[in-house]
Chains A and B, each alone.
Chain A
Amino acid sequence: MASFVRFTLDGRECLAEEGAQLVAAAKECGVFIPTLCNCPGIPPKGACRICTVLVNGMPHTACTTRVVEDMAVVTRTPELEAFRKSVVEILFAEGNHLCPSCERSGNCELQALAYRYRVTVPHFPYLFPKRDVEAWHPKLVKDHNRCIQCKRCIRGIRNDKGQAIFAFGKRGDKVVINIDPETSKDISDELAQQAMDICPVGAILRKGKGFDTPIGRRTYDRAPIGSEAAP
């Protein structure tokens, strides 16, 4: 049996399994730490930075932090909340996100966080980048306009031989997710569905399946993001 450690979360004493991921441990204790690039079951990356919290006074991404004895964690300060709102706004301004016409609307974590942080007017210059929609793959559509480069597909999706299907290309603001023509060739419908589901936004879609759940009955149509952790 795993051993438990005591740590403080926003001043409150909490218990967690030693070495538990801070995001998960906080959720167990009823505290929601927003995430985008994090996804339970796959190795964390700390890329989007939105889960940044203060650990013993220093900023750390909660997705890559493991709980240890006596750790003092602060998840909410005005600065951290402002930063998180900025990350959401920056992602909207960096790509081309048109929620009303997106197959993922209502199931989109970025959209849900925008509601949570009450993103209304733009504070960052919209870049309107020219990006492609790739539809050559028999089962998948990759809409680069919506991609937030979180790498969840890269880390979480492998073919039946255990090979990568997705990978980053280029660098900086030209970063793009590529699909391997060979390793993705014979993927099953189930894997295609997993690829669509692992994407926090509508950048990976299974062909013909975008509207299987009608708008209005989707995850965040029913309850806002973070509400499951509310104490």
Chain B
Amino acid sequence: MRTGGKAAAAAARTTIRSVIARYGDDATRLMDILIDIQDALGCLSRGTVAEIAKGLGIPQVDVEQTVSFYHFFAREPRGTYAVYLNDSVVADFCGRAAVAAAFEEAAGCPFGEVSADGMVGLFHTACIGMSDQEPAALINGQVFPRLTPERARELVAGMRAGRSVEELKGTAYGDGQNAHPRVRALVCNHIRRRGPTVFADYSPGAALAKVTRMSSGEVIAAVKSASVRGRGGAGFPTGMKWEFARRAPGDIKYIFCNADEGEPGTFKDRVILTERPQMVFEGMAIAAYAVGARQGILYVRNEYRYLRDYLEHVLADLRAKGLLGEAIGGVAGFRFDISIQFGAGAYVCGEESALIESAEGKRGEPRDRPPFPVEKGYLQRPTVVNNVETLCSAVQVMLKGPEWYNRLGTEQSKGTKVLCVSGDCDRPGIYEVEWGFSVNDILAMAGADNVQAVQVGGPSGACIGPEEFGRVLAYEDLATGGSFIIVGNHRDLLKDVVLNFARFFREESCGSCVPCRALTGMAQVVLERIIAGTGTAEDVERLQSWQAIMRYNRCGLGQTALNPITSTIKHFRGLYDARLSTGDPRFVPSFDLAAAVRDYEAAAGAGKE
């Protein structure tokens, strides 16, 4: 036994050393190193962390700070099959609780633990980008959508019978490229409406051929005159971003594509990366041409790691076609290539400077600005970070011209938007529409009746009621990065939706700024009190007043982390008022006497026996 343990430890050490060597002993590649080592060893134990630190010549605490930041990194073994069941709002709507119960019963352990035989580990995870096909789980990195309790039991039985994840999956692959031999995913695209930008007919290389006949200044001018704005939600003008990076001093510049969509209810990047990866990469090459960059990095959330082989294959194909690599499009000196960086489970990494920190192997904490990433970004070099959909828009602008693009959308919001519709409707999925469609239009397209509320732009956006369904989707009215969650009349909005979002933000705060770190948790405490019927009018006022504190957080995510609460207080005040305590106002209603004496009662009860 002891020799076996020693041999295993020696083998682990060899694995760790070879992975570190593969990444050139470079501590800025720590994310890749940790992902690969966890793949090989199952988890990142204390001993493994110490070994990695030794190999890289950095303190253990510096490895530990990255490991412990990302929720897909595990310190303990996660079982032969690690099941990560999505616990987002939409998953709950679709029957997640029954699926979770079936998993627990079949595995014989609760969530957060591994079954006694070490076979099955059950874990919660935030939205995995499958809101159109929930309940869904990741099992050893593969997606299992549309789960039922029966399917959960069948899966656990299959695991116990020693079937591989591929065997568990079966071959009922989804539509389009989901059935590609390098994807083989059960995921469906659900593209319900194809617009003229992302899902229009497209042939790789045509835009780039046009671009290489222009000067970089002309390319930027075209993107500017098309008024392309960032599609991640914030809406920063893309041409300006490119121009800043182009003007920034320095020989080495980087183009990042942000595919870390973590906003609950968003899944457009999944579908775009499945169906239009060439367009995304071509957009990065155009940005590189405009800015003068030689290297691009596609940062993809870990939840989409099932697309890795496919995306690498697409990159290799583009290189073979001369659309990436040396002398792109036959133009001597136009050299640009793209590598893929995976995250490891952290919503905040969708913030561009946090994403850069993460790509450098660190905790995903947003940076202070200035300096902006276009001045000092990845490895302190000028860096452009663009959303997946933004880059697709740039490709079509170059192909069809800014005038064409300007004819789409509204006065201040040009072009189209890919919406991710989910929740209580008949046709959840992807809708590519021009900016300017009203909420009512989308509800009609998706087949949604008896709607109580729509969460536009995800939890960090706004929750609106029927009296505002005439409002339009546009930067000047309802801005959205894509998430559009429909909540039916039969739902308990506070308990089923707002509380879930409050928990989400508490877990996903990076923890750096005091207001975000503390108030997300405190807001959950107060909200639970209100839902339990012991809250007071003062509690509601208090929650609302905290928004003024949150606005001083460093990043946009922190500034909006209480939006689910303040937005529903604003639009659904009656739901809060109806739950407030009606007890004797001379006492402190929020004090739960029963809970406070519970352990006393238990102790007294035990004493009697």
**Chain A residues engaging chain B, CB cutoff 8 angstroms:** 45-50, 52, 59, 61, 64, 79, 82-83, 86-87, 90-91, 93-94, 123-125, 127, 148-149, 163-175, 178-183
Residue of A with least CB distance to B590: A125
Bound: A47/B368 CA distance, A: 9
- A171 lies within 8 A of B61 (CB): no
Q: A171 is contacted by which of B59, B346, B551 (Cβ under 8 Å)?
A: B346
Bound: A165/B64 CA distance, A: 12
- B514 lies within 8 A of A180 (CB): no
- A87 lies within 8 A of B548 (CB): no
Is residue B549 within 8 Å, beta carbon to beta carbon, of the partner chain? yes
- A79 lies within 8 A of B542 (CB): no
- A59 lies within 8 A of B551 (CB): yes
Is residue B519 within 8 Å, beta carbon to beta carbon, of the partner chain? yes
- B68 lies within 8 A of A83 (CB): no
Decide: A48 near B68, CB < 8 A? Known: A61-B368, A173-B520: no
- Which 9 pairs between the two chains have the least Cβ-Cβ distance? A175-B511, A167-B61, A180-B61, A172-B509, A94-B518, A167-B65, A173-B521, A180-B59, A169-B68
Q: How far is the CB of A185 from chain B (nearest CB, A)?
A: 11
Decide: A182 near B59, CB < 8 A? Known: A86-B549, A125-B526, A168-B363: yes
- B65 lies within 8 A of A169 (CB): yes
Residue of A with least CB distance to B505: A172
Decide: A127 near B520, CB < 8 A? Known: A171-B68, A178-B65, A183-B59: no
- B551 lies within 8 A of A90 (CB): no
Bound: A11/B162 CA distance, A: 74
- B542 lies within 8 A of A123 (CB): yes
Decide: A49 near B553, CB < 8 A? Known: A168-B65, A172-B506, A180-B61: yes
Q: How far is the CB of A19 from chain B (nearest CB, A)?
A: 13
| Residues of chain B with a CB closer than 8 A to A79's CB | 548
| Residues of chain A with a CB closer than 8 A to B60's CB | 180-183
Bound: A94/B520 CA distance, A: 11
Bound: A181/B65 CA distance, A: 14
Is residue B478 within 8 Å, beta carbon to beta carbon, of the partner chain? no
| Residues of chain A with a CB closer than 8 A to B68's CB | 169-171
- B61 lies within 8 A of A164 (CB): yes
Bound: A148/B515 CA distance, A: 12
- A91 lies within 8 A of B514 (CB): yes
Bound: A49/B368 CA distance, A: 11
Residue of B with least CB distance to A151: B512
Is residue B226 within 8 Å, beta carbon to beta carbon, of the partner chain? no
| Residues of chain A with a CB closer than 8 A to B53's CB | 182
**CB-contacts of B508-533 with A (<8 A):** 508-515, 517-522, 525-526
**CB-contacts of B574-600 with A (<8 A):** none
Bound: A166/B62 CA distance, A: 8
A-B contacts, 19 listed (Cβ < 8 Å): A46-B368, A47-B514, A49-B513, A49-B514, A83-B548, A86-B549, A90-B515, A93-B518, A94-B518, A123-B542, A125-B522, A127-B521, A163-B58, A164-B59, A165-B61, A168-B511, A171-B346, A172-B506, A178-B64
Bound: A50/B368 CA distance, A: 15
Is residue B507 within 8 Å, beta carbon to beta carbon, of the partner chain? yes
Decide: A165 near B59, CB < 8 A? Known: A171-B68, A171-B363: yes
Decide: A48 near B62, CB < 8 A? Known: A83-B548, A171-B363, A172-B520: no
Bound: A59/B558 CA distance, A: 15
* Known contacts A48-B513, A171-B510, then 4 further A-B pairs from the complex at CB < 8 Å, ordered by chain A residue: A61-B554, A171-B346, A171-B363, A173-B518
- B522 lies within 8 A of A93 (CB): yes
**CB-contacts of B418-444 with A (<8 A):** none
Bound: A163/B56 CA distance, A: 13
- A171 lies within 8 A of B69 (CB): yes
Bound: A149/B511 CA distance, A: 8
| Residues of chain B with a CB closer than 8 A to A52's CB | 552
Residue of A with least CB distance to B46: A181
- B509 lies within 8 A of A171 (CB): yes
Bound: A174/B525 CA distance, A: 15
Decide: A170 near B511, CB < 8 A? Known: A90-B519, A127-B525, A180-B59: yes
| Residues of chain B with a CB closer than 8 A to A178's CB | 61, 64-65
| Residues of chain A with a CB closer than 8 A to B65's CB | 167-169, 178
Bound: A94/B514 CA distance, A: 9
| Residues of chain A with a CB closer than 8 A to B69's CB | 168, 170-171
- B549 lies within 8 A of A125 (CB): no
Residue of B with least CB distance to A179: B61
- B368 lies within 8 A of A48 (CB): no
| Residues of chain B with a CB closer than 8 A to A124's CB | 518-519, 522
Bound: A209/B518 CA distance, A: 31
Residue of A with least CB distance to B510: A171
Residue of B with least CB distance to A129: B521
